Structure 1
Amino acid sequence: MSTRTFRVIVRGVFDGLDPEQRAELLARAGEHDVLRAAFTAEGNLTYDLAARAAFTFRFLDTGEAEEDILEATERAESAAKAWLTERGYGHKNLRSTADDLSRAPLGKRQRREAARRSA
């Protein structure tokens, strides 16, 4: 059985931030800029609090079977909630999407490489 790679995105909105929390997030905004976005096992947070209160966590996880994507999604949501709760950041409207990269369509370069290998 092969290992599958899952990309999980957890989105939400900061809620009820006090002025100190907001200032802290704004001060660290450069570390959480969308241009630094990456899928990581520990999760990568991005936001632009100056524009809106929304945030996105990106997680990378693995599993053996297609059904493991559900557990990966639950782990990602739990990790996002834990990160926010540990820091006392209120949040709402959490929602998640997940992709199984083994089922993703091949790009042009990948198709060309696969055709070359099979020839």
Structure 2
Amino acid sequence: MRRAGGPVYGDTMSTRTFRVTVRGFFDGLTAEQHAELTAAAPEHDVLRASFTTEGNLSYELAARNSFTFRFLDSGEAEEDILEATARAELAAESWMTERGYGFKRLRSSAEDLSLAKQSKRQRQAAARTTA
């Protein structure tokens, strides 16, 4: 999946990593489109989902009519998360539109990993590398 725009890279010391999740629902799929998505479902299984710069799509049509795109982006400042979210939404919309899949109710959430709470193991590993 090709993205509109792309990550903003700069000084590695100040680069923030963002995880953006775009969720939505398939809408008005034809029988042919449904069969196409069902055939490709193993490639888009939620167990294979990951955050990538190009975006990773997952869905389970047998269980529900929804989908999730996961994007990895970056920026220099905390405010860049808004642009990263807009790029992710545009990329998800473009992917669906280019393939002729109808969709509705897109919603996004984003996380700045530099602000995410670290687990005890992560803190211990970080302490070992700086000591």
Classify the TM-score, shorter chain: over 0.9
Matched residues, number:
119
CA distance in 2, matches of 1:36, 1:4: 25
Alpha-carbon shift at residue 117 of structure 1 (Å):
5.3
The structure 1 segments of at least 4 consecutive aligned residues displaced by more than 6 Å after TM superposition are: none
Match of 2:83 in 1: 71
Matches within 5 A, 1:84-103: 84-103=96-115
Match of 2:93 in 1: 81
Paired residue for 1:25, among 7, 17, 37? Answer: 37
Alpha-carbon shift at residue 47 of structure 1 (Å):
0.2
The one-letter code of the counterpart of 2:83 is E
CA distance in 2, matches of 1:111, 1:118: 11
Q: Which moved more, 1:26-35 or 1:107-116?
A: 107-116
Identical amino acids, percent of aligned pairs = 73
**TM-score, with length taken from structure 1:** 0.95
Runs of at least 5 residues in structure 1 that lack an aligned partner in the other structure: none
CA distance in 2, matches of 1:114, 1:85: 43
**TM-score, with length taken from structure 2:** 0.87
Runs of at least 5 residues in structure 2 that lack an aligned partner in the other structure: 1-12
CA distance in 1, matches of 2:17, 2:33: 34
CA distance in 2, matches of 1:16, 1:113: 49
Over the aligned positions, Cα root-mean-square deviation in angstroms equals: 1.2
